[in-house]
Amino acid sequence: MTTAALVVAAGRGTRAQGTSSLPKQYAEIGGRPLLWHAVSAFSGHNLISHVVVAIGTDDGARYEAAIGQATAKLRPPVIGGATRQSSVLAGLEALATLQPGKVLIHDAARPFVSAETISRVIAALDDHAGAIAAVPLADTLKRASPSGIIAETLERGNLWRAQTPQGFRFASILEAHRQAAAAGLTGLTDDAAVAEWRGLEVALVEDLGSNVKLTTADDLAAADLKLRSAMATGMETRTASGFDVHRFADGDHVWLGGVRIAHTHRLEGHSDADVVLHALTDALLGTIGAGDIGHHFPPSDPKWKGAPSHIFLDHAAALIRARGGRIVNVDVTILAEAPKVGPHRSAMQAEIGRVLGLSADRIGIKATTTEGLGFTGRREGIAAMATATVLLPAAAGEGSTA
Ligand code: MG
């Protein structure tokens, strides 16, 4: 039975951002948007088959910058509604064609949900129509009179704080949400309440992690500090360079940074001869001591004839990911008299960003002529040099000899 995940990120919660209009799910903690952390927890979980995110009407560009393009597992986002309930229904309808057996619904504001909690909620759905992550109440609860005087002390023995993910058998929760919408109910604040209203049995699964909800600016700052200090203690920084040259031949376009650019010549090479992506691939391989592009994709192998060079870049990025690494930024300088690079800079950033999962501000694209000097000055070819910085778990490498 497959399990899908629906991450709810349609809220306008700008309270955490003060006067800024940036919804808090796009605020960065540990160098990544809050939403990225929440989505990654599910897209990286081996029991989750599909992930869809419900986003705000105006957040399409923000979503794409934060999460990137759709993949087989990560479906295109859906536009949510005015209330959390309507956003969830929109997400469930989008998942319906995939016919998952179970679905986990999660708030984007909980970026630290653990893989263990996700697994436990999924497992509980074997025995119950619904199961939600929750924490037994530690504080004593008081009911206040209108004047702020304690009217009653509540028995806390059986009280829990509801969290997310909230998991359900898919068909049951879709039907419950459709019925609730049809009945005009709009004030149900979580999905368990929708399920309860339909008489479904919902189990409580104790969350043992630190699955906190980030609400205020202070919450975000504390989470950012926590992530950054964890990263700084466990990770080491690696920087490496790459360089590539291809000569001109008869033709009418060149490939630079994954972008096809009309030109008086083409660049000669076994692949598409994209010097920018080749230099970048070598820089990335350099950060993990993994040789160079020719070592991984021998020019003698006919398989790579005419190959689009994003394949090489993707391979280098996958090797870094496989070591638990994260690319921080990349930077390229193109040496050429022509073509002009400026008009194509943002297209190159978009293409490289798509392959590496980086935002444009982490991708430097610069160009210079060589004042008519040397082989690039004589317009015999184009050269590119690149630098990449990655964070790598310190234990994953050979280790320091110190
Ligand atoms: Mg090359």
Three-state DSSP class for residue 30? coil
- pLDDT value of residue 397: 40
Q: What is the mean pLDDT of residues 307-317?
A: 94
Residue 12 has pLDDT above 90, yes or no: no
Ligand 1 geometric centre to CA of 244 (Å): 5
Ligand 1 geometric centre to CA of 325 (Å): 25
Judge whether 284 and 240 are in contact, CB under 8 Å. yes
Ligand 1 geometric centre to CA of 255 (Å): 11
Ligand 1 geometric centre to CA of 308 (Å): 12
- pLDDT value of residue 142: 93
Instruction: Annotate 262-305 with DSSP letters as a single string.
Output: E-SEEE--SS---HHHHHHHHHHHHHTT---HHHHS-TT-GGGT
Tokens of 396: 């994953």
Judge whether 190 and 211 are in contact, CB under 8 Å. no
Measured from the Cβ of residue 292, the count of other Cβ atoms closer than 10 Å reads 15
Distance CA 73, CA 52 (A): 9
Task: Write down the number of H helices and E strands in the chain.
Answer: 12, 18
Ligand 1 geometric centre to CA of 323 (Å): 25
Measured from the Cβ of residue 30, the count of other Cβ atoms closer than 10 Å reads 19
Query: Which stretches of 12-55 are assigned E, i.e. beta strand?
Result: 28-29, 32-33, 48-55
Ligand 1 geometric centre to CA of 398 (Å): 29
Residue 183 burial (10 A CB sphere; 0-12, 13-18, 19+): exposed
Judge whether 273 and 230 are in contact, CB under 8 Å. no
Ligand 1 geometric centre to CA of 65 (Å): 29
Ligand 1 geometric centre to CA of 270 (Å): 8
Q: Which of 155-169, 230-244, 268-282, 341-355 has the lowest mean pLDDT?
A: 230-244
Ligand 1 geometric centre to CA of 243 (Å): 9
- pLDDT value of residue 72: 85
- pLDDT value of residue 301: 86
- pLDDT value of residue 306: 86
| Confidence class for position 18, pLDDT limits 50, 70, 90 | low
Ligand 1 geometric centre to CA of 91 (Å): 44
Q: Which residue has the higher pLDDT, 232 or 284?
A: 284
Ligand 1 geometric centre to CA of 337 (Å): 19
- pLDDT value of residue 398: 43
Three-state DSSP class for residue 211? coil
- pLDDT value of residue 362: 94
- pLDDT value of residue 50: 96
Ligand 1 geometric centre to CA of 248 (Å): 12
Ligand 1 geometric centre to CA of 97 (Å): 44
Query: What percentage of residues in the chain have a pLDDT greater than 90?
Result: 76
Ligand 1 geometric centre to CA of 118 (Å): 44
Q: Which of 397, 390, 391, 386 is nearest to 283 (CA)?
A: 386
Mark the residues whose beta carbon lies below 5 A from ion ligand 1: 244, 278
Distance CA 327, CA 166 (A): 32
Cα angle, residue 394 at apex, residues 388 and 399 outer, rounded to 5°? 100
- pLDDT value of residue 299: 85
Judge whether 184 and 177 are in contact, CB under 8 Å. no
The pair phi, psi for residue 390, each rounded to 5°, is -130, 155
H or E stretch covering 170:
helix 170-182
Ligand 1 geometric centre to CA of 275 (Å): 5
Distance CA 262, CA 268 (A): 15
Three-state DSSP class for residue 362? helix
Instruction: Annotate 127-153 with DSSP letters as a single string.
Output: T-SEEEEEEE--SPPEEEPTTS-EEEE
Q: What is the mean pLDDT of residues 254-272?
A: 96
Distance CA 156, CA 151 (A): 15
- pLDDT value of residue 186: 84
Ligand 1 geometric centre to CA of 384 (Å): 9
Ligand 1 geometric centre to CA of 238 (Å): 23
Cα angle, residue 167 at apex, residues 166 and 169 outer, rounded to 5°? 150
